[in-house]
Amino acid sequence: MNFPLFFQVEGQLNRDGQWQAINPASLDSEERVKECLANVDGDPVKIGINVGGSEWAEIIGRDVEHVVKSDAICLLPGWQYSKGAKIEAFVAWQCGKEIYEYDVEMGRRGGLYLERISPDDEYFKLKVNL
């Protein structure tokens, strides 16, 4: 749950003009966004979200719905450690969506670089734990 990076990447993708990014973090309530932005290490338990609980299920369900409706997804660095991101990646793969991984170093320098990931690649399968 790296909310600052979610918003940074959303801005970069939308400014690029090729994308219409849907940032899952921006779908949350204003109060939840403030809590998450203050949560430096991204641990959802620290803001009262029980991963696997009913609130988390609602959030991931909402986010997966957007994945299904999208043309592609952009995964952020460390996505393989996030249960929700792995579910989103799996759904994107099963729905035949294009899957990209954001390069944070290029982003820090003001550039935008997305590496396309092939779901048939062992790299992807290892990260999504298939």
pLDDT tens column, 83-127: 888 899 999 999 999 999 888 777 666 666 778 887 777 767 777
User: Strands 114-117, 72-75: parallel, antiparallel or unpaired by DSSP?
Assistant: unpaired
Closest by Cα among 29, 101, 20 to 62: 29
Angle of helix 83-94 versus helix 54-69 axis, rounded to 10: 30
- Residue 74: beta bridge partners? 100
Sign of CA dihedral 17, 23, 28, 33: negative
pLDDT at 81: 84
pLDDT at 33 over 70: no
Q: What is the pLDDT of residues 58-70, one digit of tens each?
A: 888 989 999 999 9
What is the rounded average pLDDT for all residues in the chain?
79
What is the DSSP code string of 57-77? HHHHHHHHHHHHHSSEEEEPT
Q: How many domains does the chain have?
A: 1
- Say if residues 72 and 97 touch (Cβ distance below 8 Å): yes
> How would you class 86 by CB atoms within 10 Å of its CB: exposed for 0-12, middle for 13-18, buried for 19 or more?
middle
**Residue-number span of the structural domain to which 120 is assigned:** 3-128
Q: Compare 79 and 129 and report the one with higher pLDDT.
A: 79
